[in-house]
Structure 1
Amino acid sequence: MRADVLVVGAGLAGLWTATRLAGRGHDVVLADRRTRLDTTVRTTGIFVRRTLEDFDLPPEHLGPPIRRMVLYPPSHRGPVTLDSPHDEFRVGDMAPLYLTLADRALAAGVRLRLGTRYAGRRGGRHVLHGPDGPLEVQATFVVGADGARSAVARELGLDRNRELLVGAEEVYPVPALAARPGTVPAFHCVLDPRLAPGYLAWVLDDGEHAHVGVAGYADRYPHGIVDALGRFAATAPGLAGVPRPEAVERRAGPIPVGGLLRRIASPHGLLVGDAAGAVSPLTAGGLDPCLRLSDHAADVLDRALRTGDRRELARYDGAALRARFRGRLTMRRGLSLVRTPAMAAAGVAALRTPPGRAAARRVLFGHGSFPDPRTAPSGPASHALAIPGLHG
């Protein structure tokens, strides 16, 4: 099989990149090991205001807007409440959203192959294992959209994520807000290293569903993350009196928080989404970076295909973009050092001060999720010849 581009992984990054390329007239094969795209959802699906303003997402698969953020110390007493005049967050119903985006991809001409695993390169061709056995794809470029532990990154000799959190979450329907007087859609976050070492525990209640989760460094969970999630769910703030059904949807997966990787392109392909580390080091938000980097990837690949010059991929420069994250990388290191409830309580106390509240607003309600890749400096095209990953 021949193709201009093989995209591995049909999550948000893979679907978006494949559709953009096919829409520009390129022949794209999109492979995913899942047999259905509406299963094994691993993201909370939180879209921020900047994403909702800039990208064409299907509104029918987005929950009600959220304007309130509440930050808690371990005791849950004396929280810091921040209200925005704007609709800051909406939670995507990711299973049907993926299906809608897959329909868009098919309509653009993408050849979607489900139940198909990427097995690497052999003799200059990419090997897939699908329902009908091995398949070789002769593609000009390959795109790794295959998650935080990317096989494509390993195959191309590119950087791989080293700093990972592990997250787990329960999702279930909640009574409508009309039945809960005084309740507004809100995003509740708890800073407690016993439940979320190096990160946060959260409750997101948009009036339709509750998302209750924890995330942190895996080696700091003495009894495992499932135990921590169970303990948190029993006393989660913001859900007093809200019944939890017997059957809930459970999600879990790794979260890269080491910042955008430096080497995310070679003359043979590039990385997008979690595979590229396109996740905020501080907030662990990945959907806005995912879409912006995917658009940039489609631009770079389109130019390379039209010119026939592989050196164009040097413009896909993770190191240049990473430089924009110095502040958040520093804050990530600070958050990773919060190891006791007393330290967490002191951190929340600092957010109660006017400077603390202003800083929290900038981080949580600002437009700095991910830099515009088109304005980032990049090296000369000749630099592509020095990028590692020349296999075959």
Structure 2
Amino acid sequence: MTDVLVVGAGLAGLHLATDLARRGHDVLLVDRRRRLDGAVRTTGIFVAKTLEDFPLPPEHLGPPIRRVVLHPPGLRRSVTLDSPRDEYRVGDMGGLYLAAAADAVEAGVRIALGTRFLGRDAGGWRLSGPESGPEGERRVRARFLVGADGARSRVAAELGLDRNRELLVGAEAVFAVPAHDRPPAFHCVLDPVLAPGYLAWVVDDGRHVHVGVAGYPDRYPEGLRAALRRFTATAPGLAHAVPADAEHRGGPIPVGGLLRRISSPEGLLVGDASGAVSPLTAGGLDPCLRQAALAAQVLDAALRTGSAAALAGYDGAELRARFRGRLLLRRGLAAVRSPRLVDAAFPLLATPPGRAAARAVLFGDRSFPDRVSGVRAAGGPARPPAAPARRPG
């Protein structure tokens, strides 16, 4: 018997598992990947508030970015926004995962890679992997189960919780570039054909370039990779050809907002599994870290009291209410299909009100709510002064 079984070793799963272990609980973390620094899906853009509130290892963060350049579909003009502070840093996600895993192991988390979560039967939660028995499976009993297993969560289905229905898909190429004297910049192309419902981007921080597109999958008749190739032929801010050996990333992005039912007496969801991604910007790294801190406090209370009643306060419907404005803007973005309409409206971004609105979206600090049901959810993992003895088994 383990206290908590966490499925998924992304940032949300790793930070939640570490927080719980530091509070004295027995935690098993499983992930189907055999290497945490492989099969990276996210661009890894961290915003200023995340960098202020969470102690991410600086050696795995790229140079700071203060400039965002917005481009219309025709690429005939642009709007440049410069911030007086460091707004973004692009993380080396493989390095960040490995560093977070090392912290987790040091805290006492047991990590099983190459292990798949299969569901349940009378013997407990079924897992397959290197530590499985002769039949290819093993059973684990856990007081609580956590789904940190991505936008298409298997755990959500097993717990009878809500699942993401509104998804974007993204694809990008990542490669190193020679040192240059251009200021680090984040180029965003607003084109409802190239990137329906979202944007295409080039991020060049002086060390690496990320060039990608994302949008609603049913609006890519040519396929997402073809759209990416088309974009790289004319992408603004792309000063280097994409090399043949560039790393390619991609995957689903939930943008329907935080799900309403994200907990049950048996466990809960965090990160993409719970829809903790901004419906407007599709940013998920800051919400996942803050939500992991909240989830750890809720699970800690449930384990200490021996009652699952604490999980009732982990209410997605209450949290979702904080995102009404962004959900409305998401519906607006989804409805825009004409590049001509965007081109015609784009000059509004160059006006003082337009610039102010863009700066509020791109440079603002609003993310996952800091408080819900009287529980503080920001500032990283808590370290209580005293922890209960680790339970055997």
- Shorter-chain TM-score: what band? over 0.9
Counterparts of 2:218 and 2:123, CA distance in 1: 39
1:375 positional shift: 6.3
2:201 corresponds in structure 1 to 202
Query: 1:238-257 residue pairs with structure 2 within 5 A?
Result: 238-240=237-239, 242-257=240-255
Q: Which residue of 1 aligns with 2:278?
A: 280
Runs of 4+ in structure 1 over 6 Å off: 375-378
Q: Distance in 2 between matches of 1:348 and 1:7?
A: 45
How many residue pairs get matched? 372
Match of 1:140, SS? strand
The one-letter amino acid paired with 1:81 is T
Contact 1:292 1:373 in 2 (8 A): no
- Unmatched tracts of structure 2, length 5 or more: 377-393
Tell me, yes or no, if structure 1 residue 139 matches structure 2 residue 142. yes
Aligned to 1:386: none
- Alignment partners' CA distance in 1, 2:220 and 2:345: 21
Question: What's the TM-score, normalizing by structure 2?
Answer: 0.93
Provide the rounded CA distance (Å) in 1 between the counterparts of 2:373 and 2:33: 36
- Per-residue CA shift, 1:256-280, capped at 9, x if unaligned? 0000001000000000000000000
Query: 2:298 corresponds to which residue?
Result: 300
Q: State how far apart, in whole Å, the 2-side matches of 1:184 and 1:288 are.
A: 24
Question: Residues 272 and 347 from structure 1, CA distance in 2 versus in 1: closer, same or farther, beyond 3 angstroms?
Answer: farther
Per-residue deviation at 1:189? 0.3
> What's the counterpart of residue 175 of structure 1?
178
- Displacement of 1:295 in angstroms is 0.4
1:152 aligns with 2:152: no
Which residue of the partner structure matches residue 387 of structure 2? Answer: none
Aligned partner letter, 2:88:
F
| 117-126 or 68-77, which deviates more | 117-126
Shift of 1:244: 3.1
- SS of residue matched to 1:149: coil
Give distance in 2, aligned partners of 1:23 and 1:351.
Answer: 47
| Corresponding position of 1:270 | 268
The residue correspondences of 1:1-392 to structure 2 (distance < 5 A) are 2-123=1-122, 125-131=124-130, 132=132, 133-178=136-181, 183-240=182-239, 242-374=240-372
Q: Which amino acid aligns with 1:336?
A: A
Tell me, which stretches of 5 or more residues in structure 1 are unaligned? 379-392
Which residue in the other structure is 1:389 paired with? none
Q: Give deviations 1:238-262, integer Å, cap 9, x for gaps.
A: 123x243221000010000000001
Q: What is the rounded CA distance, in whole Å, between the counterparts of 1:163 and 1:350 in structure 2?
A: 29
Where 2:137 maps in the other structure, the secondary structure is strand
Residues 319, 372 of structure 2: 8 Å contact kept: no
Identity %: 70
**Cα pair distance change 1:124/1:347, threshold 3 Å:** farther
- How much does 1:340 deviate? 1.2
SS at match of 2:3: strand
CA 46–376 in structure 1, closer or farther in 2 if over 3 Å, else same: farther
Equivalent position SS for 1:177: coil
User: Does the Cα contact within 8 Å between 2:294 and 2:375 map onto a contact in 1?
Assistant: no
**In the aligned structure 1, how far is the partner of 2:334 from the partner of 2:31?**
33
